[in-house]
Each structure stands twice: as C-alpha cells, then as structure tokens.
Amino acid sequence: MSTVRESVEVGVPLRTAYDQWTQFTEFPKFMEGVDQVIQVDDRHNHWATSIAGVHREFDTEIVDQLPDERIAWRTTSGDVRQQGLVTFEPVDERHTRVNLAMVFEPSGMAEKAADMTGTLDRRVKGDLRRFKDFIERRGEAEGAWRGRISPG
C-alpha cells in the first residue's frame, strides 16, 4: 500500500471550496486521467479513468461526509483499491486549505512503476493545483450537496 498526502490553499471561502468538491461529475474538468464520474446516488460514484494508457472502471462509496469539513471514500468494486480523505480548513474568510490523503494499492506494472517514481504524487499535486485554478477562476461553486453521511 502507498500513501499520498497533498494540500493546496485556494482563494475562495470554505463553503465554496467544499461545495465545488461535492460536484463529483465535474472532476474530469481538473483531474488528469479521470474520463468520467457518474454519481449513482448520494453515497456512490462510478469512475472511468485512463492513466498511463490503462483504462479502468471502478466504484466508490462515500463513508463519511460532514459539510464544510470532510469527505472520506473507499473503492467497492473494480481492480482499483484505494481509500481517501479530503478535508477543508478555513485560512481566513476568503481562503481555504484543501488537504487530500489517499491510500492505494497499485495494480499492474505501469501503476507500480508510477508509484515508485513519484508520478502518482505529482499527479495528485497537479490535480489539486488544477482544482485551485478551476475554482478561483469560477469564484463560485457549480452546485452543492450539503447532506451528512455518517460512518457505519
């Protein structure tokens, strides 16, 4: 198992950053290698990715979601094994720190090589940088889901 931890400060209020992050179907606009995210229901998403020439599809489940604070998920099907947590911290009234931590198990030679060379760390860092650019350019979230999903 490997772990990636990255953070970025975005120039929008906490609620705006959090609300945009809940718009999972918009992830392909700023996440490299994410082709599509289909939101099945409040808790489940289906992902299609193309990374290093390898196409994968998998499902995720949100296991904990507290508005303006955190979203935690895990994979439930497919050949991708990961779990993660994104948290949101107010820096001041107009700035938010977004922290992302992921634990994953690389499968296949390409993913193992990408993990060993730090490519996956750089990809996550790039995704957060693109999220920053995306939300700062917009200045407001495209939508929001403010529901609570409790662990268990």
The answer to whether the pTM exceeds 0.85 is: yes
Q: How many CB atoms lie within 10 A of CB 5?
A: 12
Residue in 50, 28, 30, 46 with CA at minimum distance from that of residue 38: 46
Domain membership flag for residue 147: no
Domain membership flag for residue 150: no
Specify the number of domains making up the chain. 1
Residue in 71, 74, 103 with CA at minimum distance from that of residue 87: 71
- Strands 81-92 and 95-105, by their bridges, are antiparallel
Domain membership flag for residue 149: no
Domain membership flag for residue 143: no
Query: In which domain, by residue range, is 118 found?
Result: 2-138
pLDDT digits (tens, 9 = 90+) for 68-104: 999 999 999 988 899 999 999 999 999 999 999 999 8
Domain membership flag for residue 107: yes
CATH of the domain at 128: 3.30.530.20
Domain membership flag for residue 85: yes
Rounded (10°) angle between helices 109-116 and 119-138: 80
Q: How far apart are CA 123 and CA 29, in angstroms?
A: 14
Rounded (10°) angle between helices 119-138 and 14-21: 120
Sequential DSSP letters for 27-82: GGGTSTTEEEEEE-SSSEEEEEEEETTEEEEEEEEEEEEETTTEEEEEEEEES-EE
Domain membership flag for residue 91: yes
pLDDT digits (tens, 9 = 90+) for 25-51: 999 999 999 999 999 999 999 999 987
Domain membership flag for residue 151: no
